[in-house]
Structure 1
């Protein structure tokens, strides 16, 4: 129904090469709490963009992805961008108290949200009356955790209940509005005021 990629992607799947609205929205004011996405204008960001585009092309060749219907599409199909540490950090009441560092931020956030039952609650919200076949705490590999968060980002889009930040240079998917903590939401709104109307989107309809 939807596929999410941990890397910058935009409509047309071109190399972006700019510091995007989506990245500024999750950096300004929020960086001390949840870290920040890498910049698409930096050499590493351009390389990540290139590889994300290659992953999209591979999936499109081999999978049947549903048409986009989530309000901020970058393609006719439901292909979206995830950023795991920001997605997770938006749901933590006091992320600064976890003393996460750049190298282990997403893992620290993941473990905390599993222990608090937040990720299980998010899955239950998106897939009511279903049960997860594996204990979320048993997912210990960094890349596996990131892949799981990408899947959750896609699931929120398929459910039609998500927040997104960005513009024509791409949208980063965040959790549903009522899963975002008040402090992070207030800062996100201030950032949206700085960026101008349209940089903050609340999804309301599923695919």
Structure 2
């Protein structure tokens, strides 16, 4: 994608969705952290179903610890890899209570020191909770960035670095939301819906996927 295409690309996405939000349900920074931690290799829909039951009962680090491991597992057992995620969340809660007064830290270093929290999770929390212009590169953003030519890269980190360089400041905070939604609902892996894509004119992907023909 040419540099001159980037502003029009994001302007169209912004005009269609001026205030994009994560599809994970949360009301506090800790709930966001817990939801993102649980969402690895799982859908936001699946995580939301579990946290709708968990958060009314336990939505602070201490409350999660008070549940105990088996208690926590009971609430999240519908999520893939729930046993390891429960252990990570419990360990993270212990650190939050012991080292951070039960509060979620606002630095990458402190976030990535929490069990189960990698670079992508830290980027989501820094962006959504603290408004930092980070790029949380998941499978959707990785695919969209490469397919459109916006930020080609062979690894998520390469794509992240490219995005940080190429996305103009005015779009930086919200851009990862727009790219995720584009990849989730339009620029899908097997068959991108190019015929209904707002930004198809600025995309390098060829050939564009034609609209399915209707049977008479």
**TM-score when normalising by structure 2:** 0.27
Tell me which of the two structures has the higher relative contact order, counting C-alpha pairs closer than 8 angstroms and 6 or more residues apart.
1
Q: Which has the larger Rg? A: 2
More strand by share: 1
**TM-score when normalising by structure 1:** 0.28
More helix by share: 2
